Structure 1
Amino acid sequence: MSPSTSNGALQPPKKTIVAPLPNPSLQVTADHQLKQVEAPVYPPGPGEVLLHIKATGVCGSDIHFWKTGRIGSLVVEGDCILGHEASGVVLKCGEGVATLMPGDRVAVEPGVPCGQCFLCMDGRYNLCEDVQFAGVYPYHGTIQRFKIHPAKWCHKLPDNVTFSEGALLEPLSVVMHGIKSAGLSLGRGAVICGAGPIGLIALAAARASGAHPLVITDLEPRRLDFAQKFVPSCMTYQVDLSLDAKGNAKNIRKLFGMEEYFLPDTILECTGVESSVVTAAYTVRRGGIVMAIGVGRPIMNNLPFMHLSLAEISLKFINRYRDTWPGGLQCLGGKILDLKPLVTHIYPLEKALDALHTCSHLSNGSIKVQIVDDVDVVF
């Protein structure tokens, strides 16, 4: 592996710290392979902290980078440590760090924007084109024991929030940004497309927001069963592959009753699958919002443009999140949301490869797979 800078970018070799423990990491290669190798450890620079990563969730994007080598314009061109849903413990602080100290438990906000462009200056730092995002080539991610990260993007965990919950703050942030942008309404119906981790978090968050009634859709009956137990008040709909988008949309609408007023005015589309996006367009009521949260194909050719236009349906998008970690911490610390049941599989860091294989096959029955490192580290 080529050495990296303190923020993860590739650079010439530099002197490493001799740590009392090795630094195992899980890396994806440009030829769609995974490998577990030792990674170097670097001292924190000004404004940075050295973290012991305690928990990392496996995300669908990690699987995309492994299987296809890209997500849109983001391309794996060399070895890169995966992972971005993480929490850990501060081991060392670099010069000028005043907000954290060794021993602090933190959640890691993985995107480090440039701070200088007009989007950063406007507060929309999630749209920064020069963002250095953990686990996206060439910026190394969190499936490793030790990682350098700017202190500014590390958020202290309350005492009653576990490392596992701290690692769930990243997918929760995706949902929070989507819900805020969609504007769910108290007592108004909504549909969540997809009962994967993001869809299930969206279901729980929509319930906490007061939206009602709620319907969640999926192809997999086991995931719908999980959703029903996770949020008992929801209704479920198993997508019928023998029907087209209009046919499935008609069936989903029936769950809300026959009156137009009670049809869902918000759809949270969490799959990124084209047929699901089209179904969402035909499901939402006239004047409603379809919020695309899931990651999809670069080009979709079958969107019903004139239906969206004539019904004044807003098709909206999000890119990751911004300013969500403080609110997410309040949701978890204040017990507004309990996301712990989502973690169905846990692997030690040394078996991170197995974790990705488990996550990549629906037949394994996983919801959220996490990689944990329970060793004690003292520098």
Structure 2
Amino acid sequence: MSPPASDAQSSKTLSKDASGITRRTLTTPLPNPSLMVTADHTLKQEEAPVYAPARGEVLLHIKATGVCGSDIHFWKAGRIGSLVVEGDCILGHEAAGTVLQCGEGVSNLQPGDRVAVEPGVPCGTCFLCMDGRYNLCEDVQFAGVYPYAGTIQRYKTHPAKWCHKLPSNVSYAEGALLEPLSVVMHGIKSAGLSLGKGAVICGAGPIGLIALAAARASGAHPLVITDLEPSRLAFAKNFVPTAATYQVDRQLDAAGNAKKIRELFDIENIGEYGAPETVLECTGVESSVITAAYTVRRGGTVMVIGVGKEIMNNLPFMHLSLAEIDLKFINRYRDTWPAGIHCLAGGVLDLKPLVSHTYPLERSLDALYTCGDLSNGSIKVQIIDERDDVL
């Protein structure tokens, strides 16, 4: 455990953090630029306070943060379901960095450790936490979700329990990709993806592409990935050459697109058994969820991983019912970081090609603008901070 901050680094100032807790602030050699979203759907870059790590916490230098679709949702829509931006909030939750200081009682980490950040901090006492399903905790403090400060800043405190050491052959950029990988891993585990059974991935964005690679690594075959954008499908084909691609036809309805997708499987020779057993729906778009329902085989599973609108009115209820199709959902992840780290360190997955754009922390606004406009052709945008003279 590191010693307390020196007088030169320590400020006598006490201030309340975003969640209303009074904390001691630090003065640091470098400023703490951050990217905030406001309640009126604007973005701004501001200096954020640097807090001393409390008991059980570490102070991190955030080295890489990925821009997620949820960051764009909070910016442009101001909410995701019941999660509403009601005031200024620092965005970001896909992060990795270096431990700078350790608070009292921290024994599993020390200054200099390279870590990936698991951004959700559950209460630990509710029945869901006690049952091991901490991803469903209603009192979770999740980085980048109002009012809890996210990781698009240079300095951030975080509980040591939710920081996972990175081996030397896993970069900060890869460490930041562990968060979307965790989403996919939880979805695949919950869907029960089967070795040698067909699967469809709807959406060739970052989550869909990770799902495609993970499905391939898990032994599912044949694989088809769908999207509206031919450029993303071309990327997907290069990323996982054994997968087939399907460009969604805007002129067809959900059933029509589903028929075309199913034609890419060996149904003609082996019947309905050859239809995809699993569909991983990674867009959250209502029409795509409906297409997934018509695509999956009878008795199969549609796993909705994507974030969609609050109410969907047109789901084909009786089709799902008569075919005994399991329509399932996930909320984030649990117990995935160690396995994800093993996947990256052991070469099971190579996600580095997904990082299409990088921006320095001081240009984080540009990173959000790039990610928020599909015409820019981005896959995964990351914000990096390469400064080492932080403390």
Q: How big is the shift at 1:377? A: 3.1
Match of 1:67 among 69, 76, 83: 76
Q: List aligned pairs for 1:102-113, cutoff 5 A.
A: 102-113=111-122
- State the SS of the aligned residue for 1:16: strand
Q: Deviations over 1:20-61 (max 9, x none)?
A: 000000000000000000000010010000000000000000
2:41 alignment partner AA? H
Distance 1:344 1:57 in 2: 11
Q: How big is the shift at 1:9? A: 1.6
Partner residue of 2:360?
348
Partner residue of 1:10?
20
2:289 alignment partner AA? V
Distance 2:20 2:183 in 1: 27
Partner residue of 1:217?
226
Partner residue of 1:327?
339
Q: Deviations over 1:124-162 (max 9, x none)?
A: 000000000000000000000000000000000011000
- State the SS of the aligned residue for 1:279: helix
Does the Cα contact within 8 Å between 1:52 and 1:377 map onto a contact in 2?
A: no
Partner residue of 2:99?
90
Match of 1:235 among 219, 241, 244: 244
Partner residue of 1:174?
183
**RMSD of aligned alpha carbons:** 1.0
Does the Cα contact within 8 Å between 1:10 and 1:139 map onto a contact in 2?
A: no
Does the Cα contact within 8 Å between 2:15 and 2:24 map onto a contact in 1?
A: no
Structure 1 residues 183 and 4, CA gap change in structure 2 (3 angstroms): farther
Partner residue of 1:134?
143
Partner residue of 2:292?
280
Q: Deviations over 1:173-213 (max 9, x none)?
A: 00000000001111000000000000000000000000000
Pairing 1:160–2:169 present = yes
Q: How big is the shift at 1:260? A: 1.0
Q: List aligned pairs for 1:257-272, cutoff 5 A.
A: 257=266, 258=268, 259-272=271-284
Distance 1:195 1:16 in 2: 42
Match of 1:117 among 126, 137, 143: 126
Pairing 1:150–2:163 present = no
Structure 1 residues 149 and 4, CA gap change in structure 2 (3 angstroms): farther
What's the TM-score, normalizing by structure 2? Answer: 0.95
Does the Cα contact within 8 Å between 1:245 and 1:275 map onto a contact in 2?
A: yes
1:70 alignment partner AA? R
Q: How big is the shift at 1:333? A: 0.4
Unaligned runs of 5+ in 2: 1-13
- State the SS of the aligned residue for 2:97: strand
Unaligned runs of 5+ in 1: none
What's the TM-score, normalizing by structure 1? Answer: 0.98
Partner residue of 1:293?
305
Pairing 1:374–2:383 present = no
Distance 2:390 2:279 in 1: 48
Q: How big is the shift at 1:236? A: 0.1
Q: How big is the shift at 1:378? A: 4.5
2:158 alignment partner AA? H
- The alignment of Structure 1 onto Structure 2 pairs a total of residues equal to 375
